Each structure stands twice: as structure tokens, then as C-alpha cells.
Structure 1
Amino acid sequence: MSPRRSAAAARETREEIVARAVAVASTDGLEGLTIGRLAGDLSMSKAGVIGHFGTKERLQLAALEEAIAIFTRDVWEPVAARDAGLERLLAICDAWVAHLRSGIFPGGCFLTAASMEFDGRSGPVRERVIDALNLWRAVIERDVRTAVEAGQLPAETDPAQVWFECNALAIGLNQALQLFGDDDAPARASRAMRRAIGVPA
């Protein structure tokens, strides 16, 4: 096997491991990832799995990065080119609700689950969850500020409050879908997010 083909095969194997790790972590948590479980699921040796990551923590981080990339592709990238301000803010909320409704992760919102799993812990995984959520917060707050500056929202609108309420509503939607199977929850969340922003629902 040529070096180029060997490198491509190794990359494909790593991607396969990460994809399975994301699916497992979505339902069992990042701490639920085990080398033995992944090896069995993928018909690989434990050495073959761990050889791509070195440690369980690096495997957790790889799964988390992939989940963040999926969220970004699903929610941010489709609306990124919209006009900054209220138009994009509303599009973000619609895409966020659609993402949660889609069931792309078997266990629901990956970042919500990871934030609850690691909120009382320390270490690189917790810090990466915080970084990802802070970046998403900055995106929301930036468009709120732009909307205020453009006169699209009242001057007293608080970007931090809008973020807090929209994020809480997304967490609540995830619970309503995953725990209660509430098919009406996405529409309720969409209306509530619009009220949180300050536009007619």
C-alpha cells in the first residue's frame, strides 16, 4: 500500500471511529465512551481504536469537535450569508429549532448533554464545551446588537438576556422532544424565541 493510500485509509478509519463515538456519546454521554465498546461496534481491535487517539480524553474531544462541526453546518452555515441583524437572528432561531427537531443526534442536542455532563467537572472537555457555547452566545448577541443599532429592535433590548432566554428555550425544547416526545414543542419554542427577541410570535 502506498503512503498516500495508507494515510487515506487511516483518515477514513479515524472518521469512522469518530462518527460512531458521536452516536454513542449522544445517548450514553462522553464518559460512556469506551475503547472496548467502539472496538466491538466497529469490529476493530482495542489497539486499533486507541492508536488513533492515544487516550480516552482525546477520543472524547474528537467526538465533541465533530458534534460541534455538525451543529455549525446544520445551524450556522445555512444562515451565515443572511443580512446581519434581525433577519439573521430569526433565521438562526428557526435553524436551531429545526436542528433539534431533526434528530440528527440519537440522544438529542449533543452540546446540551455535554454541558450538563461536564458542568461540575474540570478539564479540557469541560473547557471546550464552554468555548463552543461562548462562541454561539457571541453570535446571537452580535446580531441582537446589530438589530438594535439598525432600529430593528428597541434600544433597551439586552443582548445577554436574549441569549439567555433563547438558549434556555433550546434546552427546554430538547427535553420536550427527548423526554416527553412532544411534537408541538418545536412550534412552541419558535414562538417563545420570537417573544424573547422582541418580535411578534
Structure 2
Amino acid sequence: MTPTSRTSDALDARPTKGRATRAAILDVALTQALHAGLEGLSIGLLAEHARMSKSGVFAHFGSREELQIAVIREYHRRFSAEVFEPALRQPRGLPRLRALFENWLERVTAELAAGCIYISGAVEFDDRPGAVRDALVDMVDSWHAALERAITLAVSEGHLRADTDPAQLRFEIHGLILAVHHDARLLRRDDAPQRARAGFNRIVERWAAPSDATAAPAARG
């Protein structure tokens, strides 16, 4: 099971044209949120960019909050398609875990000019209870669960030690991604992705099963 969210029955029942219009609005909204944050979403600007009336936008989302939640889910769907799903083509265990990390790192690096909904959303909603925060937490928890499953598979394949703590390893890997975002985006340090790869290799080596050859870091440019 992938970490992508299930599409609602109501959305599936929409006429094809309505779904296409909603998807077009959502695409513009996601671009706006990546640059201005979820709180920066403006129905007025969104309607202008989508060449629709404000009432037309509201007809598809109902409220600004519903629009924010839809943006989070769409971001998660694209994240999963670019990061999670390609990694499934790799063998179970460390090869798949490495692919998940590398795909994640490449996506974060590509997003530096705009932003990451997971990271910016955490800053905006970490202390604001409500449906938007709940949706964001649900998506992040889903991704974390996928990472921990990959780590658990690496243990079962004999690539990582039997006493490996999947939650701890996931925590450390996520910390590398957050450090990349901070150093590359705020401090403009170009070596952040390379340092993250070095950090990942050290983490894997620390937890690697003694006889596992796949723990050796892959050569990267």
C-alpha cells in the first residue's frame, strides 16, 4: 500500500469536466502555496490566475480551509509519485531504502527555489489545531510509516541489524532532509545535499548487519 491518500467517492462521482476544472485550480493553488505557504493562499489571486470568478473557485472547494486541505493532499500525491513509487522498483531492503532517501533528497533540492509544503506547513500549523493541521499530520505520518516499513524490510532482508530501531532511523534520516532545506535554502550552502548523502551512509553503516555488503555507500557524483 502506497502512502498516497484515497480519492473520495464524491470526487470520483464528479463529471469529467468538473474534475478537470478542479485539477486546474488545484495546480495553480499548489504553485501559489509553494511560494507563499498555505496561509498565503488567496482565493482572489487564485481566481485571477485560473481565470475564474471567486464563486467559481468556491464551487469546487467550498471554503479556504477545504482548499488548503486539497492542496496538502495533492502535494502528497505528487510527492508519492516522485519519491515513493519509483523506489518500489528497487529490491527490498537497503537498495529500496537508499532509493527512497535519494528520491526524497532530489525532490527537496529541486524545491529549494520555492518550498516544501511539509516543511512550510509545519511552521505555519504546528501550534494551530484544526482540520488543516490534521490533514498535514496525516500525510506526514503516512510518509513516515512508509519509510519505517522500508527500514523494517531491510532488517528482515538481513541488511540491517536485528536490533535496529525503525523509528529512530527514520528520525535521523528525516533530520538530514531538514538540515539540507535549512542550509541550502537559508544559508545558500551548495554542499548540503552531498553532506546529507554522507550522513545517510554513516547512519546505514552504524546499523548495518556485520556481513551485509549492501551497506557500502553507492557512488554518487
- Is 1:173–1:185's contact at 8 Å kept on the other side of the alignment? yes
Q: Deviations over 1:163-185 (max 9, x none)?
A: 11111111111222322332211
Contiguous gaps of at least 5 residues in structure 1 = 1-5
- Contact preservation (8 Å) 1:35, 1:46: yes
Deviations 1:53-97 (A, max 9, x none): 111111001111110011001101111132221111111111111
What are the within-5 Å matches in structure 2 for residues 1-201 of structure 1?
A: 7-103=15-111, 106-198=113-205, 199-201=215-217
Distance in 2, matches of 1:195 and 1:128, equals 33
- Rounded Cα–Cα distance in structure 2 between residues aligned with 1:106 and 1:43: 26
Q: Using the aligned pairs only, state the percent identity.
A: 37
AA at the equivalent of 2:115: G
Whole-angstrom distance in 2 between the partners of 1:200 and 1:19:
40
| TM-score between the two structures when normalised by the length of structure 1 | 0.89
Secondary structure at the counterpart of residue 52 of structure 1: helix
User: 1:26 & 1:149 partners in 2: Cα distance?
Assistant: 38
Alpha-carbon distance in 2 for matches of 1:156, 1:134: 23
Unmatched segments (≥5 aa) in structure 2: 1-13, 206-214
In the alignment, the residues of structure 1 paired with residue 42 and residue 104 of structure 2 have an alpha-carbon distance, to the nearest angstrom, of 30
Query: CA offsets, 1:25-53, max 9 Å, x none?
Result: 11211111121121122222111111111
Instruction: Please provide the CA RMSD for this pair.
Output: 1.9
1:8 deviates by 3.2
CA–CA separation in structure 2 for the residues paired with 1:175 and 1:116? 13
Paired residue secondary structure (1:51): helix
Superposed structure 1 runs of 4+ greater than 6 Å apart:
none
